[in-house]
Structure 1
Amino acid sequence: MPDGKPAGVRCVQLDDQNLCKLFNDPHRPTLCRQFDYDEAVCGESREEALVILTQWEHATA
Structure 2
Amino acid sequence: MPPVFSHAPSTSPATCRPGCAACCTAPSISSPLPGLPLGKPAGMACPQLDAELRCRLFGLPERPAVCSSLAPGPEMCGNNREHAMAWLSKLECDTQPHAT
**TM-score category of the 2 structures, normalised to the smaller one:** 0.7 to 0.9
Please give the per-residue CA displacement for 1:28-58, whole angstroms capped at 9, x wherever unaligned. 1110011111222111222321233234445
Question: Greater share of helix residues, 1 or 2?
Answer: 1
Contact preservation (8 Å) 1:41, 1:53? yes
Matched, 1:35 2:70: yes
- Root-mean-square deviation over aligned CA pairs: 1.7
Higher RCO by CA contacts (8 Å cutoff, separation 6 or greater): 2
Scaled by the length of structure 2, the TM-score of the pair is: 0.51
> Which structure: larger Rg?
2
Count of residue correspondences: 61
Q: Which string of whole-angstrom CA distances, capped at 9 and with x for unpartnered residues, describes residues 6-42 of structure 1?
A: 1111111111111100001111111001111122211
Identity %: 41
Gaps of 5+ in 2: 1-35
Task: Report the Cα distance in structure 2 between the residues aligned to 1:51 and 1:18, rounded to whole angstroms.
Answer: 18
Q: Which residue of 2 aligns with 1:17?
A: 52
